[in-house]
Amino acid sequence: DEFPILCETCLGENPFVRMAKIPWGQACKICEKPFTCYRWKPGGRARYKKTQLCRSCAKTKNVCQTCVLDLQYGLPVQVRDTALEQHEREGMPVTQVNREYLQEVAEHSLDAEDASQSYHKFTRASLLLQRLQRRAPYYKRNAPHICSFFVKGTCNRGKSCPFRHEMPKTGELANQNIKDRYYGQNDPVAKKMMRLAKERTTPLVPPPDKTIRTLWVGGLDSKTSEMDVRQKFMSFGELASVRVIGAKNCAFVTFSTRSSAESAATKLQTGLSINGSRCKLAWGKKQGKRKREESKSSKGPPGMGAMPPGMGPSPAAVPPPPGMGASGKKTKTYYPSMDPSNMGARFDTTHQER
């Protein structure tokens, strides 16, 4: 219980860390209460780091006591809370019909499970968090501070100086506040990450035909059922039909109104996940023109019904036989076998035996 709550980046790449423990040595930056702080050096070319928050404040937000970043995803609190809020908002039904359906499904699941089980909230991972989270430690964050004497041009230590000889960078990331990062408000790092994530997202342009109300969902798992897809899209409006094609691992979701389909496409274009599988989303195509072409090609000759399956339209015209032109006139033959009117061999009578 006495070990500080730290992330892997702040601990450093060296598995053997020597820390200095200072009982009640500093006041918390959030609650301003004194707490036991720790000071250590995470690497040979790193700066000394120490805890900035008390254990209670760090546990409340699930953040590191030093860098104040989320322990699970390695992201600022504002990015994490925004993604989780958006993820929970997407799963909440809007219409009364969908609310009643979701309540009925929940009642059936409770009846099937043991009533003595403790209450727990079922949460699914947000796809935006999975895309933005840092999967490996970022040890460059432990680099030494910039040498103030070098900025003034008066540092004479050279390479032996333990600080960085760089000019400070100006911009939106220059002014950072630990309280803004902790509470998730006006954090410049979080704003930059959200802006870059929005710019990298390809917008899903709706088709000009307003009668199209179908969305195509690809990349489904083989065990995904119609109810799983319906529960994902039911929060955006009333569903007319949901058709899952297991052989192709895709589904077609048709809404009752075009506005509901556009709302689902706009909010789910950043990422769609069903049963832990990352899925693709696109607008469906109108089937009327394709059906007319298929019905036209399946028709037989005049006065007859449709042609049997597997038979297409009549083949191209057969070329004329040898010796006949395209207009039907007889042409000169070069060999007797090329003349269709000749029933036998033709001998040359101009040459007689002497």
Listed in sequence order, the residues at least 6 apart from 124 whose beta carbon sits closer than 8 Å to its beta carbon are 87, 273, 276
**Does the reported pTM lie above 0.75?**
no
- Residue 324: both structure tokens together: 């006949």
Tens of each residue's pLDDT in the chain, 354 residues: 578 999 999 999 888 889 999 999 899 999 889 999 999 999 888 899 999 999 999 998 999 999 999 998 899 999 888 887 766 655 556 566 666 666 677 667 656 655 444 333 444 556 677 777 888 888 988 999 999 999 999 999 988 998 999 998 887 787 888 999 999 888 888 888 888 877 776 677 888 888 888 999 988 888 888 888 888 888 888 888 999 998 888 999 999 999 888 888 888 876 677 877 778 888 888 766 555 555 555 555 555 555 555 555 555 555 655 555 555 555 555 566 666 666 555 555 555 444
CA distance 346 to 60: 109
Contact yes or no for 163/182 (Cβ under 8 A): no
The 10 Å Cβ neighbour count of residue 181 is: 22
Which residue, 313, 314, 331, is CA-closest to 322?
331
CA dihedral 5, 9, 11, 12 (to 10 degrees): 180
- Residue 344: both structure tokens together: 């036998």
